Chains A and B, each alone.
Chain A
Amino acid sequence: MDKVYPSLDDAVADIPDGASIAIGGFFTAGTPVQLIQALARKGAKNLTVMCQSMGPGNEDITPLVVQGQIRKAICNYPFYRSATRGADSPFEKAVRAGQVELEVYPMGTFVEKLRAAGAGLAAFYTPTGVGTVAERGKEKRKFNGREYLLEVAIKPDYAFVYAWRGDRTGNLTCRKTARNYNPDMAAAARITIAAVEGLVEPGELDPDKIHIPGIYVQRVVQVDRRNYIPSID
């Protein structure tokens, strides 16, 4: 079962207009920037993206915004902290102008919605957000005297994930805090495309240290590590 694609562009070639894509990574750690760049080259439009941020630490997503490829973003920390830097950000401008729709969830709810989709669950109850604007339009229910909100699963069409090492069958090993959203996004999506720094043969990875089992991964592409300096301000 060889899932390796010859190039980044081949790996994203079938992504149609209107697709939804979960993109792993937490600021500089574990973001599949090479796949985001390939998606910008591909030019698919009317996309829904699900990712931590739409700028801070994830600047490579900006071309998708500037090229008008994104219709909707689902995030937990979309904006720069600094109001001045935010005012110059194409994403913030697009949201203010109503060109991009934005849904924001608490971080734990955001990732649990993806986990639930990957685990075959329709929804879950969480105590997070009770008494806040996050409860709008949601069922509220008491269990053992405590209130919870019903949150439904989100199942993306595609996931872009990043791994330190991966084998041809899609087993992936992440490094340090670069694991973050990648395992749950890989499980949630119908088609998961993994950018891996080191492509190896089956048997070379320690089976006890696989963070993303290959069953969740449909495509593997080798990429070069790109070093960059983090900043979210």
Chain B
Amino acid sequence: MAEKRRQFDGLSRELIALRIANELEDGTYVNLGIGIPTLVSNWIEGRDIVLQAEIGMLNTGPLAAQGQVDQDLINASCQPVTEMPGTCYFSDCESFAMIRGGYMDVAVLGALQVSEKGHLAGWNNPERGFPEHIGNIGGSMDLAVGAKKVIVAMEHTTRNGDLKIVKKCAYPVTAVGVVKLIVTDLAVIDVTYNGLVLREVAPGLTPEEVQSVTEPKLIISPDLREIQL
């Protein structure tokens, strides 16, 4: 029996992050979730983008180098980070007040599944075998409902080739109807009222190939093009 695996090669995790960095506008406040989203920070140096860390920090600087590590200065992924000119600190409670309060322009989040309605499932992987009401929620539910725009950064399918862009999320959802844009190793997809619109495909891939690993029917954008980096 053939081993199940990903069918197509596309962008690396770093390049998914770069594609998302290109999507961010200057003058915005952005929160990056755990996983691929964190890598976006590597591509925005010098840009006028302020990163929020939900632990209670605005203007989060790059990861701390060896010897610079300060255990009192970490991001929400528990990585030691650095200060920037303009950094400010506040409590976790205030951090979530600004998240729910609608001040975050963009949240970039990872996902286990995204539905064609923009439902996001990312906090509870049933493979861990917990009851469906417990798991690591962290800040994901607040960010998903609070941010003005939610971008999902993820691989298009699982390592086993299972589909992650689905008609209905089988996994417990983080929030309903919140995802506006999906960026994967294979495609850039807008979530619209009419359905999922395929805007860009990875170099060398056809829209049919992307459709073959996407459960809902994709609407092909009239401006469809290769992902530009």
Contacts and interface: CB of A to CB of B under 8 A. Distances in A.
Contacts of A228: 71
A211 B79 CA distance: 24
B142 A227 contact: no
Interface residues on chain A, size class: 35 or more
Interface string A154-165: 000000000010
Nearest to B96: A108
Contacts of B80: 230
Interface stretch (B128-136, B148-156, B194-202): B128-136
Residue in B77, B99, B142 whose Cβ sees the most chain A Cβ within 10 Å: B142
Given A77-B136, A83-B128, A29 B71 contact: yes
A166 interface: no
B74 interface: yes
Nearest to B124: A133
A223 to B, nearest CB: 14
B56 A232 contact: no
B130 to A, nearest CB: 8
A106 B137 contact: yes
A46 B202 CA distance: 55
Nearest to A162: B72
Interface of A: 26-30, 56-57, 76-79, 81, 83, 86, 95-96, 102-109, 111-112, 114-115, 126-134, 136, 164, 175-184, 211, 227-232
Given A29-B55, A129-B141, A183-B91, 16 more contacts: A26-B74, A77-B136, A79-B128, A79-B135, A81-B136, A95-B134, A108-B99, A111-B96, A112-B96, A132-B173, A132-B176, A133-B172, A176-B72, A182-B91, A211-B91, A227-B71
